[in-house]
Amino acid sequence: MRYPKFLSSSIAAYIAMSIFVVLLYMVLFINLMEYEGQHEYANLANSIYWVMASVTTVGYGDIVFHSMIGKIFSIIVMLSGIPLFFGILITLVITPWFEKTMKLPLAVKVPKKYSDHIIVCGYNALVETLVEEFQEQNTSFVIVSEDEDALRMLSRNNIPCMYGDPSDEVTLENANINSARFLIANQSDNENANIVLTARKVSDVKVIAVAEDASKIKYLKYAGADRVISPKLVLGRFFAKKAVDPFLGVLFGTTEFFDGCSIVEFPVYSKSELIGKTLAQSTINEKTGATVIGLRKGGQLTFNIHPGDVIKDNTVILAVGSKEQLQKLGKLTD
C-alpha cells in the first residue's frame, strides 16, 4: 500500500517513537525488578516478555511487581500499550488488509450537476502542481485515470477523481464533458491523440493537450486540440530567454505553462534562510506552494533532484507555480 509522503513520514515517526518507548519500558522493568529484589527476572529476555505481554494487554501474571511504584508502572505500560500496539497494528496491518480485501469501488462518474469544471486526463507530477493551483483558486476539477493506486491515494486526500479510460466516450460523458470548462489530455502522446479525437466526437469543449515529444504537436492539433503544450519546449524557450538576457529579473523572466502557472529560475543568495538546508528541510512547497522541478549547481542543471540535495549559495532553484507562490519563493531565496 502506498501512502502520501506526508503520511509516510508521520507513520515512520510514530513507529520510531513506539520503539523508543518500548526500549524505555524494558530498561525501567529491569531496574524496578532489581529495586524489588526480584533479581531472577531482571534480564533482557524477561523484560522483552513482560513488556510485550503488558502493551498487548495479555498480562499472564507470572511476573508481577509487588511495590507500589512497580504497580503504578504496570498500569502506565498497560494503558499506553493500547495506542502503541493497536495503533501500529491498525495502521500497518488491518487497514491495508481491509482495503486490499474489500477493494472499495472507485467513482466512475461525477454528479450530474457538476459543471464549469476542468477534466484532467491522467495523473503525474505536473498534475500535482495543477491540483494545488486549482485548489487555491477554488476551481472545480476532476482527474480521470485508469491507475487504481493513484486514484485511491487521491480519494484518501479528498481530491475529485474517477476511474475510466479517458479515450472512451462513456468515460468522458460520465465526467460531464459537455458542461466542462475545458479538458486537459496529459498522458502519452498516442493516448492524448485518442483522447482528443474522442473529446471532439462527443463535445465542442476546449481541449488542451500535453505533448511529451515536441515533434508530435502538429499531430495533436490535427486531432482537434485547441492548444498543445510541450513541457520540454517550454523549458527550452525559458532557457533561451535566460541565455539572451541572464540578468532578467526574478519574475520578469517567467515562462507560462498554463494560465496562472509559470516556471522561474531563482538564484539563492548568501543571506537566504535556505542556505545549508536540504530540499526536504527547506519545506519550500509547504511554505510557498511552489514546486521545485530542478536545480542548477555550478552551472550544471539537473532535473534529477532528491530530498537530500543541499541548497548552497551558488545554487539556482527552478520552480513551477502561480505568480503569488513564486513571489513567496523569491523572498525565501533573497
What does the domain layout of the chain look like in residue ranges?
5-101, 117-234, 247-333
Secondary structure (3-state) at 320: strand
What pLDDT, on the 0 to 100 scale, is given for residue 178? 93
Q: Give pLDDT, residue 299.
A: 60
Hey, which residues does 143 pair with through a beta bridge?
120, 161
The CA-to-CA distance between both ends of the chain, in Å, stands at 40
pLDDT of residue 251: 44
Tell me, what's the pLDDT at 2?
46
Judged on CB neighbours under 10 Å (0-12, 13-18, 19+), 254 is middle
Exposed e or buried b for every residue in 293-312, given b needs 16+ CB within 10 A? Answer: bbbbeeeeeeeeeeeebebe
pTM across the whole model: 0.49
Distance (Å, whole) CA 295 – CA 305: 7
- Report the half-sphere exposure of 91 (CA within 13 A, side-chain side): 15
Architecture of domain 5-101: Orthogonal Bundle (1.10)
10-residue stretch averages of pLDDT, the chain, 334 residues long:
48 77 91 92 92 81 89 88 71 62 75 91 79 81 90 86 92 94 90 93 90 82 86 56 46 54 77 86 86 74 79 80 83 82
CB atoms < 10 A from the CB of 245, how many?
A: 10
In CATH, the number for domain 117-234 is 3.40.50.720
On whether the 247-333 domain is CATH 3.30.70.1450, my answer is yes
**pLDDT at res. 248:** 42
> Which pLDDT value is given to residue 194?
93
What is the bridge-based pairing of β-strands 182-185 and 161-163? unpaired
Identical fold, 5-101 and 117-234: no
Query: What pLDDT was estimated at residue 143?
Result: 93
Contacts of 71 (CB under 8 A, 6+ apart): 65
Residue 11 vs residues 3, 6, 72, 161, 318: alpha-carbon distances, Å: 9, 9, 29, 25, 30
d(CA 185, CA 170): 16
- Could you tell me the CA-to-CA distances from 225 to 79, 222, 273, 318 in Å, in that order? 62, 7, 44, 29
Under 8 Å between Cβ of 288 and 274: no
Contact by Cβ (8 Å): 237, 229? no
Q: How many helices (H) does the chain have, and how many strands (E)?
A: 13, 11
Q: Which CB contacts under 8 angstroms, 24+ apart, belong to 74-80?
A: 77/25, 77/51, 78/54, 80/21, 80/55
Distance CA 263, CA 246 (A): 15
Which H or E element spans position 142? strand 141-145
In the prediction, which pLDDT does 80 show? 83
pLDDT of residue 4: 45
